Structure 1
Amino acid sequence: MDQNRPDPILQYIVNNPEAFADNLAKVIEQGGKAIAAYLEPIEKGETTPSYGDEINDWVKTLSHVGQYWLSDPNRAMEAQTRLWAGYMSIWSSTLQKMAGEKADPAIEPDPKDKRFKDPEWSENQFFDFLKQVYLVTTRWAEDLVEEAEDIDEHTRHKAEFYVRQLANAMSPSNFIFTNPELLRATATSNGENLVRGMKMLAEDIERGGGKLRIRQTALKGFEVGETLATTPGKVIAQNEVRQLIQYSPTTETVKKKPVLVVPPWINKFYILDLTPEKSFIKWMVDEGYTVFVVSWVNPDANLAEKTFEDYMREGVIESFDLVQKATGEDKIDVIGYCVGGTLTAMTLAYMAETGDHRADTVTFLATQVDFKHAGDLKVFVDPEQLLSLEAHMREKGYLEGERMAAAFNLLRSNDLIWPYVVNNYVKGQEPFPFDLLYWNSDSTRMPAANHSFYLRNFYLENRLTEGTLTVGNHRISLGDVTIPVYNLATREDHIAPARSVFEGSRFFGGEVRYTLAGSGHIAGVVNPPSKNKYQFWSDAPVEGDYDDWLTRATEHAGSWWPDWRDWMQAHAKGEEVKARKPGGGKLKPIEDAPGSYVKVKS
């Protein structure tokens, strides 16, 4: 052993036991505050624990897998033998290392897995052993789900998702005594990290009204209308479900056709108008577009009966009327993002069916219209779970924003949940300020009738592309949407998977330009050219399957925004007019952008 090298064990020993004991007392005190924050709304009758249905579904789903393996003694023995063989391989490798011999690990983590980057996970035999046992066990559990027979694909999909969530939760990287980095941080600070962490835990439970609302970014320094959503404009109209914003021009002339943006109402529109450097809205205005944006209401129980069709009529079609009135133009380019895009597609099919041809082009951003390959969100949608969710929504008249946010976070729990649990509540470190994650935490509620329609008719029954969706007594078809379509997907999207968006392209009746951006559902869309990040693929016809398309497509460096601008210009006929002021003299502005609806907190 190198005599000059400090004993590695010392880094895990508390250097001031008295200070450590004092900090432990503070941890207990802050822990009491956290428990009180959790219990207070329950005692007041403001909320009740609501995890029973979810736990029951997890147990029921995983029991199907367990039944397959345990119902046959030979299969059960095979499963046990496979697991013990993995453990014995780890034990053999560990013994070799303890004897001073070189030995290859029985299993290695994925190179992209950030949880085991600390050198001690490989150099320290104890932590290396824990890591390998964890990896072997999780790989074994995943294989059991994949190889189980006699279960339907939806149950298998749920089981895969639930096993992944359990594996992520049980990772040794999440716990003090099994994570070298956390153990060092606790020892060297004499437990001060735990005091800070428990204090933040109590604050986040109190902020969540008795439920843990994990902070993913520093909460100070961001304010909608001050540091975010600052592009100048006016609210020119409003009704129960939305405000309509028209942005002030920055060029002397503008494109003749105005642009109407329909964002999702799951989260808020200012994802497209974060800081000026990241704002797609500002970029469009600076490119000479007259931009209108729908800002959805953050609904309460009074809007419980607002339906998907109400959002179509009052949110989109009325906005067409207002844009036409403010500009005098009868041809409008429309953009839909995520569920706002799904609503836009349904609206355009309805408009085509009823002879309304004001839409001239449509751009879909990370939008699904066909839900066969809708990804892990389908885990939460089956008849039994929907009945339970609908009963819950009837009690309040809406779905709470934090429930939807929790579902989205679970899709990437190793990125959006556990790193923050460890960093905030164990390391005791305040997360860095990040505008995108502040927006992500600014959740919105959803009206009960609207959300039920969306989940049943799209996720569960896929009626839009099956041709069975009836709106306003009209059976609608995407095949009637014959205007040019720019259909953007993002390659790592967990919400609107690229394959799903690609398959949806086939159902439109006209020209479709399918474009694939690098990164995910948000970063792939909000990717200004000035950042020179990621890439996009395009220029291949929508033929064959998604993988075939990807091999034929051309890869381009940087943002997709200029490609969209060129596509729009090709359909603009080069016509420009004098820049338009908000309202156009026909509609009196109500207030400055971003308006008041977007500032309502859940």
Structure 2
Amino acid sequence: MNKSAKYQSQTDKLPVPANVPAGTDASKPHAHNNLDRAIRATVARATGGISPHSVTEAWSDWSMHLARSPGRQLELIERAQSNVLKTITYSAAALMQDEIPAPFKPKSYDHRFADPAWNKAPFNIWMQSFLTIQDWWDEATEPMRGLHKQDGDRVRFQMRQFLDLMSPSNLPWMNPQILAETAKTGGRNVADGAAHFAEDLIHTLTQTHKPAPEGYKLGVDLACTPGDVVFRNDLFELIQYTPQTKNVHPEPVLFIPAWIMKYYILDLSPQNSMVNYLVQQGFTVFVISWCNPGADQSELSLEDYRRRGVLEALQAINSIVPGQKVHANGYCLGGTLLAITAATMARYGDDRLASLTLMAAQVDFAESGELLLFVDESQVAFVEDMMWEQGFLDRPQMARTFASIRAEDLIYTRAVNRYFLGKEDLPTDIGIWNADTTRMPARMHSEYLRGLFLENRLTAGRFAVEGRVIALKDISAPMFVIATETDHIAPWRSVYKTKLFSDCEMTFVLTKGGHNGGIISEPGHPGRHFRVALRAAGALYEDPDNWIAKQRKIPGSWWPEYSKWLRQKSKRRQTPPDTGNAAAGYPALCEAPGTYIYQL
């Protein structure tokens, strides 16, 4: 019996667990439990899924610790006095047209004050006044002895949201760009902005998708690498791409994207398509295209995505390309799912994976950045009640969470440009993809939030699959792990912790860019660089700060490094396999990009 069949026979004998995560409504439901949940769901919709309890608890914790810390209060008073004095001195010099260094600078990622007009009075005075307050609140929310770190971070985050809203860049009479544009166009920018606002409001209220602009049509301009759908179930479509070289490496590559995104982030325009690049490098590439679940699929579980998603995709590939191991590549949450799947396969001795690639994917969630600000027991229960009523986490609810983390750029800068300057959004391939959001099934999202984010079970030795705990250290296949320098969803030091919980050979890459831009970093992309180093199997752990201090920056894209690594882990090229395998039950069903990509 081969390894694949042995694995299948073992899993078929095991009971499929209910997978109700520990901590989910542990208290016995009372007679009117549904009434309580319905009320909480109504409140959750009104607050965008933010728990009022979590907000008030954070402020209460911060203010009570500050109230009993007179020394800390004195520090903040001194900080306020110093900041005010600096601002007054700078303002007086600015009014006298004397040039002195500005006491405060915007953060590196804050581009709201980049226009040179902000350096002239009175705009520079307003900008410095805003930055003065921002600096004080940054100091006021620094850790205090006894203060829960998450509460301090939440207070800082909430104050940043408030200050971003009140920034002078958002006020037409204080923003020199808006004033100059209004004078130049005679107010036409205001009229155009009002039309844009009305258009966006209608789309928000009706939840309709805007049609793709000219040059960005799916299957023609985006997601246009030639291929065919060779398998489909209710959860995903499997796409096999047409070879573009005479011979190919025998081991196929399987991409597993996150289920919170449409897969074509990996197949954008032809020039920056990672799928197209690897096909051109002589690899047989498959991609999972997840469905966009509706309310009738609310009971889809994390186990469904593993079992009826990744494992069924592997089974199909094994039939289409028989006798060959698979290079599996997981992006974001798809990487987390791949790690779970690989650890489970290793437990059963299933060795069908030639290698694992994790792109901007976390296996430990203790340091997962500002997304943790939205995760505690009260918050998760609040979101669960909202999903219990509607059956899924809807697109706008998820999009607001990600946008709020970088509100100064993703919300307010766009609003100023569109509503006050009257500018149309310039379409880009990644912008079109970013707006093509998806839903999350209620059960799966609850399991993911509780089991991974809230309780961090995967690296705590408490994540069970089919009734038994799995361990990442069981994985023996070589890994290629990519993190990005400015990732605010999967911070690179969090991704780096994959080294802590695995013993296999690992190549770790740190590349310039964010969660999406750092991954979609094709050869020729200007200003790119990366660092790379090999960790031998069983080697001692090295902390991330020491690691980065030793690595030199290599200019250019990391994609050629990845292609070289895949070639080293593959056998010599041979004739490409056929598309699908009708005799084995995997006929070509339709051309890529398939049908699920169009689901709204």
Question: Where on the TM-score scale, by shorter chain, does this alignment land: which range?
Answer: 0.7 to 0.9
Shift of 1:364: 0.9
Cα-to-partner distance string for 1:360-394 (whole Å, 9 max, x where unaligned): 11111111011121111111111110000000001
- Structure 1 residues 71 and 187, CA gap change in structure 2 (3 angstroms): farther
Shift of 1:507: 1.4
Q: Is residue 172 of structure 2 the alignment partner of residue 176 of structure 1?
A: yes
Q: Residues of 2 paired with 1:107 and 1:137: CA distance?
A: 10
| Partner in structure 1 of residue 568 of structure 2 | 570
- Choose which of 532, 536, 551 in structure 2 pairs with 1:553: 551
Taking structure 2 as the reference length, what is the TM-score of the superposition? 0.87
- Choose which of 91, 94, 97 in structure 2 pairs with 1:94: 91
| Partner in structure 2 of residue 416 of structure 1 | 410
Shift of 1:59: 4.4
| Partner in structure 2 of residue 353 of structure 1 | 347
| Partner in structure 1 of residue 120 of structure 2 | 123
> Any gaps of 5 or more consecutive residues in structure 2?
1-41
Q: Secondary structure of 1:177's match?
A: coil
Shift of 1:71: 5.0
Q: Residues of 2 paired with 1:549 and 1:209: CA distance?
A: 49
Shift of 1:509: 3.1
Shift of 1:114: 2.1
Contact 1:529 1:562 (8 Å CA) reproduced: yes
Q: Residues of 2 paired with 1:546 and 1:376: CA distance?
A: 19
| Partner in structure 2 of residue 66 of structure 1 | 63
- Choose which of 258, 267, 276 in structure 1 pairs with 2:261: 267
Q: Residues of 1 paired with 2:551 and 2:206: CA distance?
A: 49
Q: Is residue 434 of structure 2 the alignment partner of residue 435 of structure 1?
A: no
| Partner in structure 2 of residue 249 of structure 1 | 243
Q: Is residue 165 of structure 2 the alignment partner of residue 166 of structure 1?
A: no
- Choose which of 189, 195, 198 in structure 1 pairs with 2:194: 198
Cα-to-partner distance string for 1:291-326 (whole Å, 9 max, x where unaligned): 111000000011100100000011100111100111
- Choose which of 116, 140, 145 in structure 1 pairs with 2:141: 145
Q: Residues of 2 paired with 1:531 and 1:84: CA distance?
A: 47
Q: Residues of 1 paired with 2:444 and 2:72: CA distance?
A: 46
RMSD (Å), alpha carbons: 2.3
| Partner in structure 1 of residue 15 of structure 2 | none
Q: Secondary structure of 2:483's match?
A: strand
| Partner in structure 2 of residue 589 of structure 1 | 588
| Partner in structure 2 of residue 21 of structure 1 | none
Q: Is residue 462 of structure 2 the alignment partner of residue 471 of structure 1?
A: no
User: What letter is aligned with 1:553?
Assistant: Q
Which runs of structure 2 are paired with 1:16-95 in the superposition (5 Å)?
A: 49-51=46-48, 53-54=50-51, 57-70=54-67, 76=73, 79-80=76-77, 82-95=79-92
Highest RCO, 1 vs 2 (Cα 8 Å, sep ≥ 6):
2
Shift of 1:103: 4.3
User: What letter is aligned with 2:153?
Assistant: H
- Structure 1 residues 295 and 103, CA gap change in structure 2 (3 angstroms): closer
Q: Residues of 2 paired with 1:443 and 1:474: CA distance?
A: 34
| Partner in structure 1 of residue 479 of structure 2 | 485
| Partner in structure 1 of residue 497 of structure 2 | 503
| Partner in structure 2 of residue 494 of structure 1 | 488
Q: Residues of 2 paired with 1:188 and 1:238: CA distance?
A: 56
| Partner in structure 2 of residue 12 of structure 1 | none
User: What letter is aligned with 2:83?
Assistant: G
Shift of 1:468: 0.9
Q: Secondary structure of 2:319's match?
A: helix
Q: Residues of 2 paired with 1:168 and 1:589: CA distance?
A: 51
- Choose which of 276, 286, 290 in structure 2 pairs with 1:282: 276
Contact 2:254 2:287 (8 Å CA) reproduced: yes
User: What letter is aligned with 2:509?
Assistant: T
Query: Bigger shift: 80-89 or 510-519?
Result: 80-89
Q: Residues of 2 paired with 1:186 and 1:57: CA distance?
A: 42
Contact 1:301 1:396 (8 Å CA) reproduced: yes
Query: Bigger shift: 219-228 or 517-526?
Result: 219-228
User: What letter is aligned with 1:137?
Assistant: I
| Partner in structure 2 of residue 34 of structure 1 | none
Query: Bigger shift: 110-119 or 341-350?
Result: 110-119
Contact 1:195 1:428 (8 Å CA) reproduced: yes
- Structure 1 residues 349 and 540, CA gap change in structure 2 (3 angstroms): closer
Q: Residues of 2 paired with 1:420 and 1:257: CA distance?
A: 44
- Structure 1 residues 160 and 98, CA gap change in structure 2 (3 angstroms): closer
Which runs of structure 2 are paired with 1:208-247 in the superposition (5 Å)?
A: 208-209=204-205, 219-247=213-241
User: What letter is aligned with 2:167?
Assistant: S
User: What letter is aligned with 1:332?
Assistant: V
Q: Secondary structure of 2:329's match?
A: strand
Cα-to-partner distance string for 1:416-439 (whole Å, 9 max, x where unaligned): 221101101111110111110111
Contact 1:481 1:510 (8 Å CA) reproduced: yes
User: What letter is aligned with 2:594?
Assistant: G
Shift of 1:414: 2.2
Contact 1:527 1:533 (8 Å CA) reproduced: no
User: What letter is aligned with 1:545?
Assistant: D
Q: Is residue 130 of structure 2 the alignment partner of residue 134 of structure 1?
A: yes
Q: Secondary structure of 1:494's match?
A: coil
Shift of 1:58: 3.5
Q: Secondary structure of 1:240's match?
A: coil
Contact 2:172 2:178 (8 Å CA) reproduced: yes
Percent identical among aligned pairs is: 35
Cα-to-partner distance string for 1:75-134 (whole Å, 9 max, x where unaligned): 55653453244223322332344345554444343466422223332221x212211111
Q: Is residue 151 of structure 2 the alignment partner of residue 155 of structure 1?
A: yes
Q: Residues of 2 paired with 1:118 and 1:488: CA distance?
A: 35
Shift of 1:537: 0.5
Q: Is residue 536 of structure 2 the alignment partner of residue 539 of structure 1?
A: no
Query: Bigger shift: 329-338 or 291-300?
Result: 329-338
- Structure 1 residues 287 and 178, CA gap change in structure 2 (3 angstroms): same
Shift of 1:402: 1.7
Shift of 1:333: 1.3
- Structure 1 residues 555 and 454, CA gap change in structure 2 (3 angstroms): same
Shift of 1:171: 1.3
Q: Residues of 1 paired with 2:433 and 2:320: CA distance?
A: 30
- Structure 1 residues 177 and 579, CA gap change in structure 2 (3 angstroms): same
Cα-to-partner distance string for 1:144-188 (whole Å, 9 max, x where unaligned): 110544311121222222222222222111110111111222233
Query: Bigger shift: 370-379 or 184-193?
Result: 184-193
Q: Residues of 2 paired with 1:52 and 1:467: CA distance?
A: 30
Q: Residues of 2 paired with 1:477 and 1:52: CA distance?
A: 33
Q: Secondary structure of 1:254's match?
A: coil
Q: Is residue 335 of structure 2 the alignment partner of residue 341 of structure 1?
A: yes
| Partner in structure 2 of residue 33 of structure 1 | none
Query: Bigger shift: 110-119 or 289-298?
Result: 110-119
- Structure 1 residues 282 and 75, CA gap change in structure 2 (3 angstroms): closer
User: What letter is aligned with 1:231?
Assistant: T
- Structure 1 residues 424 and 59, CA gap change in structure 2 (3 angstroms): farther
Shift of 1:449: 0.7
Q: Is residue 424 of structure 2 the alignment partner of residue 448 of structure 1?
A: no
User: What letter is aligned with 2:578?
Assistant: K
Query: Bigger shift: 152-161 or 100-109?
Result: 100-109
- Structure 1 residues 86 and 325, CA gap change in structure 2 (3 angstroms): same
Contact 2:51 2:378 (8 Å CA) reproduced: no
| Partner in structure 1 of residue 22 of structure 2 | none
- Structure 1 residues 524 and 147, CA gap change in structure 2 (3 angstroms): closer
User: What letter is aligned with 2:170?
Assistant: N
Q: Residues of 2 paired with 1:48 and 1:549: CA distance?
A: 44
- Structure 1 residues 212 and 281, CA gap change in structure 2 (3 angstroms): closer
Q: Secondary structure of 1:527's match?
A: coil
Q: Residues of 2 paired with 1:197 and 1:147: CA distance?
A: 42
Query: Bigger shift: 533-542 or 412-421?
Result: 533-542
Which runs of structure 2 are paired with 1:508-523 in the superposition (5 Å)?
A: 508-523=502-517
